[in-house]
Amino acid sequence: MANTHGSFQIKSEVVNRAKPIAAGVAILGWVGAIIAYFSNHDQFFSSYLFSYFYWISLSLGATFFVMIQRQTQAEWSVVVRRLAETVMTHFWVLAPLFIPILFGLHSLYEWTHTEVVAKDELLKGKSGYLNVTFFVIRAVIFLAIWCFLSWKLYSYSVKQDTNGDPKETKRAAWLSAPGIPLLIISASFAAIDWLMSLQPHWYSTMWGVYIFAGGGVTFMALLILICSWLRSNGILDEVITVEHYHDMGKLMFAFNVFWAYVSFSQYFLIWYANLPEETGFFIDRQVGSWLGVSLLLAIGHFIAPFIILLARGAKRHRLILPVMAGWMLFIHAVDHFWIVMPIRNPNGVAWGQLWMNIATWAALGGTCAFFFLIRLSKHSLIPVQDPFLEESMEFENA
């Protein structure tokens, strides 16, 4: 068995080639973000929130994926689990990057304006929950939960590389059992706090699961892209086989159907009940060019990927699957753009300010990618001492 330590390390020339690109994107992004802040800081904060939640949602998806694999003691996913665990650790850089949002609370959230709340019966009623102090406390709790879970799960896995102790697998499974509900509840509340309260009069009970499903599908897309990137550099190309791609493709497909199911249910119930306090969200998103974005989401996030990825051959294809994964990463950005930006630009997409979204997205994404590359080169690319490693390498779809 090719279990010798170090044979599954990433090649240093691959990391050294990718690092300057990630750093360059991050630096350009941050420069753009700073210019954006000084040119129009209201617009900047909306763009920043959009980018922030985009990258947070990917790591939420990663943590969920790792915990599900741990809890079910899945064998097939062992060879890709370390990559997922590394994406999970993005929380450690993203947590401090929440601070800029705190400076933009007044600009982002209507409920922070005391004079507006005083005149508004509904907001007055919600002020026990929606107030700045409690908001900050909650944010700290959410980020602490996510950092803790990712740190524990990551260190169990990395520790096992050196000590080979099968008990680490048990410990990870043990943590995942309470970890899954903890993650999903905290992620739902974060989605309510950070995104739903942008329109404080509006509410939807589907919101948490809708955001969570989007994170799930996009993380699977990211994982497929990372594996494809390694494969194109000749790394792990015989370890992560077409069978693993097929399964990752299936999960991406399934999460996407789940996303569509949840988002349609949300829309359908609001459409049917037709209550003024609920319909506002969708009416805002049918104004001007937002209608086009809404339709793009329905077609590009569900109908087209559903038809393209339905066939078994597409999920096993060397090109179709990564291309669709890249598309899912893009369309997820459109989804979050569509959630956040109509509040700032109610008349339609602000094309002139679109670069701010791209800059903040690149700033946070480049930072995450740079951090990812550093983490990835510090340990083996697969959990070399995992008790299920051999089963995973021999895995085949029936």
Partner 1 sequence: MAENKIYGAIAAFKSDTEILEAARKVRLAGYSKFDCHTPFPVHHLDQAMGMKRSKLPYFIICCTIAGFTLGLLLQWWTGAVDYKLVIGGKPLFALEFATPILFECSILLTAFGAVFGMLGLFNGLPTFYHPIFNAEISKRITNDRFLVSIEAKDPQFDATKTTEFLQSLHGAEEVQLVEA
Q: Cα torsion for 117, 120, 122, 127, to the nearest 10°?
A: 20
Pick the stretch among 36-44, 221-229, 232-240, 263-271 that binds partner 1 (CB under 8 A): 263-271
Pick the stretch among 223-231, 266-274, 335-343, 376-384 that binds partner 1 (CB under 8 A): 266-274
Is the CB of 264 or the CB of 327 nearer to partner 1? Answer: 264
* Nearest distance in Å: CB 306, partner 1: 12
* Nearest distance in Å: CB 271, partner 1: 5
Site string for partner 1, 274-293 (x = CB under 8 A): x-------------------
- Closest among 213, 252, 199 to 335, alpha carbons compared: 213
What's at 291, amino acid-wise? L
Is the CB of 92 or the CB of 282 nearer to partner 1? Answer: 282
Is the CB of 160 or the CB of 266 nearer to partner 1? Answer: 266
* Nearest distance in Å: CB 272, partner 1: 7
CA angle, 385 then 154 then 195, to 5° = 145
Identify the residue among 264, 278, 308, 350 touching partner 1 (CB under 8 A): 264
Is the CB of 4 or the CB of 274 nearer to partner 1? Answer: 274
Q: Tell me how far apart the alpha carbons of residues 249 and 256 are, in angstroms, rounded to a whole number.
A: 10
CB 139 within 8 A of CB 98: yes
Please give the size of the binding site for partner 1, defined by CB under 8 A: 8
* Nearest distance in Å: CB 268, partner 1: 6
CB-facing half-sphere around the CA of 88: CA atoms within 13 A: 26
CB 342 within 8 A of CB 290: yes
Site string for partner 1, 2-41 (x = CB under 8 A): ----------------------------------------
Is the CB of 272 or the CB of 351 nearer to partner 1? Answer: 272
Site string for partner 1, 215-254 (x = CB under 8 A): ----------------------------------------
Q: Tell me how far apart the alpha carbons of residues 117 and 123 are, in angstroms, rounded to a whole number.
A: 5
Helix (H) or strand (E) holding 251: helix 242-273
Is the CB of 17 or the CB of 312 nearer to partner 1? Answer: 312
* Nearest distance in Å: CB 336, partner 1: 24
Is the CB of 144 or the CB of 310 nearer to partner 1? Answer: 310
Q: Tell me how far apart the alpha carbons of residues 357 and 171 are, in angstroms, rounded to a whole number.
A: 41
* Nearest distance in Å: CB 343, partner 1: 24
271 binds partner 1 (CB under 8 A): yes
What is the 3-state secondary structure of 112-139?
A: HCHHHHHHCHHHHHHCCCCCHHHHHHHH
Is the CB of 15 or the CB of 304 nearer to partner 1? Answer: 304
Provide the token pair at 144: 């602490």
268 binds partner 1 (CB under 8 A): yes
Is the CB of 31 or the CB of 310 nearer to partner 1? Answer: 310
Site string for partner 1, 309-348 (x = CB under 8 A): -x-x------------------------------------
* Nearest distance in Å: CB 375, partner 1: 37
Provide the token pair at 324: 């669709």
Pick the stretch among 211-219, 248-256, 270-278, 370-378 that binds partner 1 (CB under 8 A): 270-278
What's at 269, amino acid-wise? L
306 binds partner 1 (CB under 8 A): no
Provide the token pair at 360: 């903040």
CA angle, 262 then 214 then 353, to 5° = 115
What's at 260, amino acid-wise? A
CB-facing half-sphere around the CA of 22: CA atoms within 13 A: 17
What is the 3-state secondary structure of 142-184?
A: HHHHHHHHHHHHHHHHHHHHHHCCCHHHHHHHHHHHHHHHHHH
Provide the token pair at 84: 């997922």
Is the CB of 129 or the CB of 271 nearer to partner 1? Answer: 271
Burial class (CB in 10 A: 0-12, 13-18, 19+), 64: buried
Q: What number of H helices and E strands is found in the chain?
A: 19, 0
Contacting residues toward partner 1, per CB under 8 A? 264, 267-268, 271-272, 274, 310, 312
